[in-house]
């Protein structure tokens, strides 16, 4: 009689939860709070799960309504130095208008930068145009933000 390997044990999720050093929920992606929420959800009866989902939907909707009522942030104007490079102006305006999506403005910003570097347009003229560009995008941003808020609340 030789040595026999013990038969493997089949563990259920409940048994895994109780096994020392093993957390079945560690495979659930997310934070500790998300894993606790999944654990609580799985422990509920089906009717209580629906109640929890309805409450979560209510909280999401409530937070969306709060966000809609908020006014879009105003730019934080930084003073324009007397001798400013075009690159420094882009950085200054990006800080002043931090709420704007710079990716959307990339084409026009690059065209102005090219006009300065490649075509010799004066930095002062290009910076004036950059300031107008950022102001225009901010007005578009405000208009879109206000119309989104009105359409959601009505």
Q: What is the pLDDT of residue 89?
A: 95
- pTM score over 0.85: no
pLDDT at 152: 47
Encoded tokens for 136:
């225009």
pLDDT in tens, 111-146: 999 999 999 999 999 999 999 999 999 999 988 877
C-alpha to C-alpha distance for 71 and 8, rounded to whole angstroms: 62
For the record, the structure tokens of 108 come out as: 């026009």
pLDDT band at residue 1, thresholds of 50, 70 and 90? low
Mean pLDDT of 43-64: 83
Of residues 150 and 133, more confidence is placed in: 133
- Residue of 71, 88, 87, 69 lying closest to 79 (CA atoms): 88
What pLDDT shows up at residue 144? 85
pLDDT at 28 over 70: no
Q: Which two tokens stand for residue 21?
A: 């050093």
Alpha-carbon span 139 to 72, nearest angstrom: 11
Say if residues 86 and 130 touch (Cβ distance below 8 Å): yes
């Amino acid at each position: 009689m030789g040595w026999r390997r013990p038969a493997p044990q089949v563990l259920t999720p409940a048994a895994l939860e109780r096994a020392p050093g093993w957390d079945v929920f560690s495979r659930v992606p997310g934070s500790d709070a998300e894993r606790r929420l999944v654990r609580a959800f799985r422990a509920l009866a089906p009717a209580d799960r629906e109640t929890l989902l309805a409450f979560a939907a209510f909280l999401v909707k409530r937070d969306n309504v709060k966000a809609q009522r908020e006014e879009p942030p105003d730019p934080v104007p930084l003073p324009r130095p007397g001798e400013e490079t075009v690159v420094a102006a882009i950085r200054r305006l990006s800080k002043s208008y931090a709420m704007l999506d710079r990716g959307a403005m990339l084409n026009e910003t690059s065209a102005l930068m090219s006009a300065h570097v490649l075509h010799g347009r004066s930095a002062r003229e290009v910076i004036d145009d950059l300031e107008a560009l950022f102001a225009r995008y901010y007005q578009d941003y405000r208009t879109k933000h206000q119309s989104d808020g009105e359409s959601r609340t009505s």
